[in-house]
Structure 1
Amino acid sequence: MSPDGEHAPDHDVADAALTADDQILVEFILQKFDELLGVLRQLDDEQANATLPADGSNSVVQLVTHCCGMMRRWSSTVNLGMEVPRDRRAEFQAVMPAAEALELAARTRELFLKDVTQTDFDAAPVHVPPGRDHFWTASCRGVLFHVLEEIAQHLGQAEITRDCLGGH
């Protein structure tokens, strides 16, 4: 992030041997992830862990934790075949200080970047989970578009949660 809170292009992505289009995709993923973290930064610990009074509501901490697990699953386990342990159910039950969630996100971002710089975007993913034979699993690039889709969805969910909690 730049000092004014805007997403700044990531030097690791710019330095990677990616095509211009693939750099744009990765930058969009990182931009939406940074925006999600920006929502978290606007909340105190109580707000960050609060859920709305609706079935299936998630706290912003849970959404950030889930996005961290999701990003690594798809970038590492699926695209590269390097198993990253994950407990999806625990992601949606996470409770922690916002600062701890931000530390998790910083580590995830670093490892995600390492994964994508090792990825052949045109190749088929190494380990597509059973039942996930969607059109976007035809290439590693398609899998990363799915990561963008998921982060954008959860960013919107986090923004609504923040607004309803009065954290804006």
Structure 2
Amino acid sequence: MQDQNEYLYFLRRAFDGMLGVLDDLGDGLGNARPPLPGANSVYAIAYHCAAVADYWTGHVIAGREVDRDRAAEFTATGHGKDLRRQVDDLFEQLEADLAAVTAASAPCNTPPADFEGPDRPLSVQGVQLHVLEELAQHHGQIQITRDLLKRGASS
């Protein structure tokens, strides 16, 4: 069995950073969108990241059924404290999902092409790198969104 603690550690760091921004902004600004074409709220981005980690790790790697409405993730609204609890629950699930994963494991499922993942077949390690890639990008997006919102740029 491969030790997944280091992977989960880096996922947690990314989520802690995103949720920290959401805590800092509060629910009002956390659910606001900056006035830029296609911009998303901090809450929606963090919510999307939870869905990314759940789907790619739980469904693609572990084979667990995950009901995901990707388009709805970008319009999600809610309370930061509720999302933090959801992420905490997700980490318990991810730990269970990864318990039997080894370096030689193959992902149980292939994602649909419209989920905008990498354009090649992935190993378990490749899927995990993709999740980290997504979370790192969106963590930065959340930081920029925070900066815009704190300067009064919201719609």
TM-score normalised by the chain length of structure 2: 0.85
Residue equivalent to 2:78:
96
2:42 is aligned with what amino acid? V
Cα deviation, residue 121, structure 1: 3.5
Residue ranges of structure 1 left out of the alignment (5+ in a row): 1-16
Higher relative contact order (CA 8 A, sep 6+): 2
Distance 1:130 1:96, change over 3 A: closer
State the alpha-carbon separation in 1 of the partners of residues 92 and 20 from structure 2: 17
Q: 2:41 aligns with which of 59, 70, 80?
A: 59
1:87-132 CA deviation, whole Å, 9 max, x = no partner? Answer: 1111111111222222222222221222122323332211112435
Residue equivalent to 1:138:
122
Residue ranges of structure 2 left out of the alignment (5+ in a row): none
Cα deviation, residue 18, structure 1: 2.8
State the alpha-carbon separation in 2 of the partners of residues 146 and 161 from structure 1: 22
1:28-107 pair list within 5 angstroms: 28-107=10-89
Provide the aligned length of Structure 1 versus Structure 2. Answer: 148
Residue equivalent to 2:143:
159
Percent of aligned pairs with the same amino acid? 36
